């Protein structure tokens, strides 16, 4: 029997994940208004403190302390907005002086090798608009149990909200739009244990990208008007998979993104499993994903070998509504073992016979 996941189910699950115990005795509540420094408040904070932010701020913010909560005013005239400063903090210029990010949640480690010597734990960021940074809206590196909830990350040069070399990341009920690459990105995390729930991601290259990472849940998201809705990407450089993609609405991902140094042209992909393993795709609506330019990964659900030749294995695509996608609702290149595609409500497939209408 096919699983059924409703919006109410996703909201309840996200609320459960977000629930935390009461603040420890002595934890402080600090307010930061327009014209005041968020970074100064973070620098003065102790683990367990909550910093409530209102107004517009031109700065980037580095968080290296455990259990810091940043709570922005989410709407109205006092809405918390973060935009790039004229002189960014060096620690948040990951990759170079022109690669500026908004919020940087940083453990201790080597950015080049990904080796983590100390994780930063329990950081929460909620209620902010993070706009126009040249790199990332929010980035976690070496983070444990970070929560990013109900933020808007838009028009950032690379990723909207991303976590690298991290575990237990929760990305809940955010909006990411018009970011240069991925709206939501989990990467370089062999034990990611990530939860990506109830987000809306549109106008990006990828709505969601899961690369070189394992163990995650992608539930109740709406992914549309990207070049690809969600991609599980192996061989970049390691394995990717052991993930659940359930109850999402993935449609009209028709944008065309040209080929780059590490990836081919992308357009019209709903769900792409590229060399991934043990990905369960269930109870999703995947419709009207049609390429607007030539792409080797177009289709409703595309299951193919990785760019380095790793075959897709153990993937299950069942109980989905997959219709009106081009060139096919389901595309499988025939490689790999243990991939299952039945039953789904779909019409076209390559090879023929996967969908009831192509038997």
Predicted TM-score of the model (pTM): 0.92
Domain locations in the chain? 28-180, 192-359
Q: What is the pLDDT of residues 169-205, one digit of tens each?
A: 999 999 999 999 999 999 999 999 999 999 999 999 9
Between CA 206 and CA 227 the distance in angstroms is: 6
Backbone angles phi, psi at 338, to 5 degrees: 75, 20
Does residue 327 have a cis bond before it (omega within 30 degrees)?
A: yes
What separation in angstroms does the CA of 88 have from each of 11, 171, 238? 36, 25, 33
Residue 156 tokens, joined:
């950032």
> Running DSSP on this structure, what letter comes out for residue 92?
G
Residue 86 has what pLDDT? 81
Q: What is the pLDDT of residues 278-336, one digit of tens each?
A: 999 999 999 999 999 999 999 999 999 999 999 999 999 999 999 999 999 999 999 99
- Cβ 160 vs Cβ 184: under 8 Å: yes
Residue 24 has what pLDDT? 54
Q: What is the pLDDT of residues 16-59, one digit of tens each?
A: 333 333 445 568 999 999 999 999 999 999 999 999 999 999 99
Residue 287 tokens, joined:
């419709």
Residue 16 has what pLDDT? 38
Q: For 192-359, CATH number? A: 2.160.20.10
What separation in angstroms does the CA of 294 have from each of 75, 290, 303? 40, 10, 18
Between CA 84 and CA 97 the distance in angstroms is: 12
């Amino acid at each position: 029997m096919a699983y059924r996941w409703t919006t109410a189910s996703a909201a309840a699950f996200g609320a459960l994940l977000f629930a935390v115990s009461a603040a420890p005795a002595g934890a402080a509540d600090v307010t930061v208004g327009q014209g005041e420094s968020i970074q100064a408040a973070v620098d003065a904070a102790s683990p367990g403190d909550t910093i409530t932010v209102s107004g517009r701020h031109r700065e980037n913010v580095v968080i290296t302390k455990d259990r810091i909560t940043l709570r922005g005013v989410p709407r109205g005239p006092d809405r918390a907005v973060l935009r790039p400063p004229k002189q960014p903090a060096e620690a948040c210029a990951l990759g170079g002086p022109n690669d500026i990010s908004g919020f940087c949640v940083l453990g201790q480690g080597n950015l080049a090798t990904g080796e983590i010597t100390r994780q930063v734990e329990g950081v929460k960021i909620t209620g902010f608009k993070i706009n126009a940074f040249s790199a990332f809206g929010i980035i976690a590196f070496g983070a444990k149990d970070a929560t990013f909830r109900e933020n808007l990350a838009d028009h950032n040069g690379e990723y909207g909200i991303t976590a690298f070399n991290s575990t237990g990341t929760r990305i809940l009920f955010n909006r990411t739009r018009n970011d240069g690459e991925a709206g939501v990105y989990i990467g370089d995390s062999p034990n990611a244990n990530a939860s990506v729930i109830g987000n809306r991601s549109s106008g990006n290259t990828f709505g969601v990208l899961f690369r070189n990472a394992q163990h995650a849940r992608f539930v109740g998201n709406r992914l549309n008007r990207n070049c690809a809705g969600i991609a599980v990407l192996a061989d970049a450089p390691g394995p990717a998979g052991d993930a659940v993609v359930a109850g999402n609405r993935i449609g009209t991902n028709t944008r065309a993104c040209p080929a780059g140094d590490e990836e081919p042209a992308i357009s019209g992909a709903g769900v792409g499993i590229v060399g991934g393993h043990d990905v369960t795709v269930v109870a999703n609506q995947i419709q009207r994903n049609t390429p607007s330019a030539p792409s080797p990964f177009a289709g409703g659900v595309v299951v193919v070998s990785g760019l380095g030749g790793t075959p897709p294995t153990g993937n299950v695509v069942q109980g989905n509504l997959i219709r009106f996608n081009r060139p096919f609702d389901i595309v499988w290149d025939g490689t790999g073992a243990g991939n299952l595609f039945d039953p789904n409500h779909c019409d076209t497939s390559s090879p023929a016979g996967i969908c009831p209408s192509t038997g």
